[in-house]
Amino acid sequence: RIIMGIESSCDETGVGLVRLHDDGTVELLADAVASSVDQHARFGGVVPEVASRAHLEAMVPTTERAFADAGLRMSDVDAIAVTAGPGLAGALLVGVAAAKAYSAALDVPLYGVNHLAGHIAVDTLQHGPLPKPCLALLVSGGHTQLLRVDDVASTIVELGSTVDDAAGEAYDKVARVLGLPYPGGPPIDKAAKAGNPAAIAFPRGMTGPRDAKYDFSFSGLKTAVARWVEGAERRGEEIPVDDVAASFQEAVADVLTAKAIRAAKDAGIGTIVISGGVAANSRLSSLAQERCDKAGIELRVPRPRLCTDNGAMIAALGAHVVAAGAKPSSWDFAANPALPVGTVSV
Ligand code: ATP
Ligand code: MG
Ligand code: FE
């Protein structure tokens, strides 16, 4: 069966196509993405109205590109999945409206699904079925969560999350302090490769003995970096951008991997999946690999292209939801900007 996935929760318009095989495996056929990131760069963050308009303009061309890439026709589609939330209200609305229109026109069932669960499900396109249970570290621009994934198609339980900024948000804010472009993840990752991760001892948030074991905090780290840079500027020193980037990145990767491994060990879970845009970070995956090897835990990280927002992740999740025999969404379901991670499909 062919499943089409539509993503529009933030600033990427994504249309993915996958094939659900009879044995339950899911194969990637096409992954077309149009991004409005360049239009937001000068504002240092996503402007919702700009994103919505860009989705409107990109939806049909991106859909056409996905079908051309896969060599399929729209009549080949057996089911449609669309991001129902969480995300920006106006942005989500465009994808949901498009999905409803395609579903009606093609007379195929429609599934409204969870964007965050999609970030996890996408790994099955690269590494095959997920063990049940597995532990997911979801690190993106808007979320930082530790999740127990009993079944990515139906049952996800939140073990902990950030109490303030998301990891990706911290990257974007620190990049701005360092005069690096938006989004900040890729340029910090690059600068850090030339820097010394031990140059500056930045704080590890929420790691005290009385802090919640599985929660995160990145706002103190962000402030510490800003203060350090201000101090150096006041003294008239040149900012060692590479060292600051490397030291900041080390603090983030240290806390994320330590807590994920602790949660997996506590729950007796043998597999960790890291997903979301920040999973594309090179130090996060290398440190996670080092520590997972030591702990005897299997690590799965999708390739960077699959980590950031795309339609294939929604198609993949849709395929698992279809395979699980879930009921399609009702015609009148609405986008939910605050859809909780535990609600995998609506
Ligand atoms: P959410 O999924 O929570 O709704 P989002 O969809 O905006 O948020 P993603 O597209 O999954 O988030 O991720 C975007 C974030 O990933 C940005 O903050 C960006 O800086 C970060 N990011 C991308 N590449 C890297 C990298 N190599 N290292 C660190 N962070 C990165
Ligand atoms: Mg984005
Ligand atoms: Fe995302």
pLDDT digits (tens, 9 = 90+) for 157-208: 999 999 999 999 999 999 999 999 999 999 999 999 999 999 999 999 999 9
* pLDDT, position 295: 98
Span 109-129, average pLDDT? 98
Quote the pLDDT of residue 44.
81
Is pTM beyond 0.90? Reply is yes
Q: What is the pLDDT of residues 288-334, one digit of tens each?
A: 999 999 999 999 999 999 999 999 999 999 999 999 999 999 999 99
Known binding-site residues equal: 115, 119, 138-142, 172, 185, 189, 281, 309
Residue 287 has pLDDT above 90, yes or no: yes
Residue bearing the CA closest to ligand 1, atom 25:
185
Three-state DSSP string of the chain = CEEEEEECCCCEEEEEEEEECCCCCEEEEEEEEEECHHHHHHHCCCCHHHHHHHHHHHHHHHHHHHHHHHCCCHHHCCEEEEEEECCCHHHHHHHHHHHHHHHHHHCCCEEEEEHHHHHHHCHHHHHCCCCCCEEEEEECCCCEEEEEEEECCCEEEEEEEECCCCHHHHHHHHHHHCCCCCCCHHHHHHHHCCCCCCCCCCCCCCCCCCCCCCCECCHHHHHHHHHHHHHHHHCCCCCCHHHHHHHHHHHHHHHHHHHHHHHHHHHCCCEEEEECHHHHCHHHHHHHHHHHHHHCCEEECCCHHHHCCCCHHHHHHHHHHHHCCCCCCCCCCCCCCCCCCCCCEC
Averaged over 207-235, what is the pLDDT?
A: 96
The average pLDDT across 194-223 equals: 96
The ligand with the least distance to the CA atom of 278 is 1
Average pLDDT, the chain: 97
pLDDT digits (tens, 9 = 90+) for 9-18: 999 999 999 9
**Which protein residues touch ligand 1 with a CB less than 6 Å away?**
9-10, 87, 115, 140-143, 168, 171-172, 183-186, 189, 276-278, 280-281, 308-309
Using 50, 70 and 90 to split pLDDT, how confident is the model at 34? very high
pLDDT(42) > 90: no
Q: How far is ligand 3, taken at its centre, from the CA of residue 233, in Å? A: 35
User: Ligand 3: distance of its center to the CA of 238 in Å?
Assistant: 35
Take residue 141 and report the two structure tokens written for it.
């621009």
Rounded distance from Cα 275 to ligand 1 centre (Å): 10
Ligand approaching nearest to the C-alpha of 54: 2
**C-alpha 109 – ligand 1 centre gap (Å):** 31
pLDDT digits (tens, 9 = 90+) for 241-259: 999 999 999 999 999 999 9
